[in-house]
Amino acid sequence: MKIVTVWLITLCFLTVPGHTLAKDLFVDPVEGSNLYNGLSARPNGSGGPFKSPNHAIAIAGPGDTVHLAKAVYSDELDLTNKSGEPNHPLIIDGHGATIDGSRPINISDWQQVAPGLYQNTAIWKEPLQQHEDFQWRWYFIFNGSMNRMGHCMKGVNTPYKQPDALTDGQWTYRQKDHSFFIKIDSSKKLTDYNIAMPFRTNGVAVHGPLHDLIVRNVIATHALNDGFNITPPVNGKLSVRFENIASIECGDDGLSAHGNSFVDVNGFYSAGNGNGLCTTGMSTNNRLFIKDNVGYEINFYRNPNPGSSTHTITNSYIDCTALNGFLVESGMKGGICTLKMDNVIVVGHHGRTVESQWIRAVNNAEIEATRLTVTGMSFMITGRALRLHNSILAGGDDYSIDLGNDVRWSADNNIYGLGHIRVIFPSVRCDANSFDDYKRMVNQDAQSKWMRIDSDQLLKNAPIGSTDEKIGADLSKIPQHKHDGELSQLTVKYKSAGEKLATDNNMHTP
């Protein structure tokens, strides 16, 4: 009777609607085979890991975990319409795997048309697939070095050079016949340059009305478009969580979320992409380390759907070297876009473009920040509001806070080491000498201080002034200041286009 009872209870449990038995599926591009059952990490008789990650993903369901061996994969991870269930998420764990969207050029597709000058008309058909807008994302990799030739989808694009104006290690595109040209030293061969080009559109594609999906410990690099591309259906919703991911040197965005999506990011390294992070919809972002991108470091883009949206950034470091530093835009249909930041560092660099040193909120967008540390950046707010508390703004006379007409301004317990604060209504422009007058006129910043700040010492988390109260970001809680192997020491090396990507350390596995 006991045995029968246990069996019946187990049967009932397994047949409860929505319940699934979780299983672990393994992938290994070297030792795996799609003829195996995928249930073990190493071959074992008829069992063993799958070879293709997309084969495992197609089989996986709610509650399952797909484990990728730490290796280099040439597949675009396709998660279209793949969902889990509440309390039974579908998990893709890369364990530090790299999704490499590039491949070496096919030498036979290139014809020499002049000494050291080679022409190709095949790329337009594959992988560009005759989409002209993809061209602005294009690049080549010469001996491991990415060369965009001044092109970026969301940045300023340098006019294409004429083929006969190219110099060693350069390329161009001629639209009239969709030809690509590469110039090398005429005494060398194309094979001497180990040239590669983007081939996969995205590193990880998350498309469809999906939910309860987790992607963790994956590196995406050298995709033509985005490292991580999130696209819900028209008038549909999508929800996904990313943990400890990285995107490096992709043609457009490191992570790009479109439409009515909710994206939860916990641990993201983004460098060398067209844009670091470009998100509409709703998002939460924790432990970002974003640097050295081209068009924008951060762009919370116009939401095409009606209604308001909110984004948060916490415990993060944004190093603004892109053409445009930091932009928050409101929705296309009148909604409010709110960015909330807590314990964040934003760093600008003197001598770069003015736009790269701006934190902007435009149209109906607003920024709310606490424990923010900013150096070498100005606030240019023409949107709805700026609320700034317990924060430090440094950089000296070249940097400022400028608020447009009708911008709502709320500030207190801040330390300013800037050139000025300018408020349109009431019309006030203050600096260190007129700060007390400004306080009385705008009824803000009662507990704030104005002082000279050493930016170098500030970024070492040195105390500012004589206050005992912690103001500004706590660097010990921000990724690149935590030498724990999660994201802080992540570097990428391409010794040649034929040698696959390697990382200096293992990515953290939760």
Which of 79, 95, 111 is the last residue in one of the domains?
95
- Cα gap 451→465, rounded to integer Å: 8
For 360, the 3-state DSSP assignment is: strand
**Does residue 379 share a domain with residue 230?**
yes
Task: Name the stretches of the chain with pLDDT < 50.
Answer: 1-19, 481-510
Q: What percent of the chain has pLDDT over 90?
A: 74
**Does residue 298 share a domain with residue 174?**
no
Residue 217, in any domain of the structure: yes
pLDDT in tens, 268-288: 999 999 999 999 989 999 999
pLDDT confidence of residue 462: 64
pLDDT confidence of residue 490: 40
**Does residue 86 share a domain with residue 56?**
yes
* CATH code: domain of residue 39: 3.30.1910
**Does residue 399 share a domain with residue 373?**
yes
**Does residue 49 share a domain with residue 153?**
no
- Cα gap 387→416, rounded to integer Å: 14
Task: Tell me the pairing of strands 502-503 and 492-493.
Answer: antiparallel
Spell 267-276 as b/e; 16+ CB within 10 A means b: bbbbbbbbbb
- Cα gap 463→475, rounded to integer Å: 12
Residue 502, in any domain of the structure: no
CB 59 within 8 A of CB 34: no
CB 311 within 8 A of CB 337: yes
For 39, the 3-state DSSP assignment is: coil
**Does residue 316 share a domain with residue 252?**
yes
pLDDT confidence of residue 20: 56
**Does residue 273 share a domain with residue 167?**
no
**Does residue 118 share a domain with residue 69?**
no
Residue 326, in any domain of the structure: yes
Token reading at 432 = 């260190």
- Cα gap 322→276, rounded to integer Å: 9
CB 299 within 8 A of CB 152: no
pLDDT confidence of residue 500: 37
> Residue 430 carries which side chain, given as an amino acid letter?
C
Residue 391, in any domain of the structure: yes
Among residues 488, 480, 506, 491, the alpha carbon closest in space to that of 217 is found at 506
pLDDT in tens, 72-124: 999 999 999 999 999 999 999 999 999 999 999 999 999 999 999 999 999 99
- Cα gap 206→210, rounded to integer Å: 8
Which of 165, 194, 223 is the last residue in one of the domains?
194
How many structural domains is the chain composed of? 3
Query: Residue 64 to residues 18, 78, 135: CA-CA distances in angstroms?
Result: 14, 16, 38
Residue 372, in any domain of the structure: yes
Residue 14, in any domain of the structure: no
Spell 439-475 as b/e; 16+ CB within 10 A means b: beebebbeebbbeebebeebbebeebeeeeeebbbeb
- Cα gap 272→279, rounded to integer Å: 18
pLDDT confidence of residue 465: 55
Which of 72, 95, 118 is the last residue in one of the domains?
95
Backbone angle region of 457, left / alpha / beta, with phi > 0 → left and psi within -120 to 50 → alpha:
alpha
**Does residue 414 share a domain with residue 446?**
yes
- Per the structure, the complete domain to which residue 167 belongs is given by 103-194
**Does residue 353 share a domain with residue 224?**
yes
pLDDT confidence of residue 480: 62
**Does residue 80 share a domain with residue 219?**
no
**Does residue 401 share a domain with residue 385?**
yes
DSSP letter for 247, please: E
Which residues, 6 or more positions from 86, have their beta carbon under 8 angstroms from its beta carbon?
A: 212
CB 383 within 8 A of CB 408: no
Burial class (CB in 10 A: 0-12, 13-18, 19+), 300: buried
What phi and psi, each to the nearest 5 degrees, are found at residue 82?
A: -95, 115
Residue 492, in any domain of the structure: no
Residue 10, in any domain of the structure: no
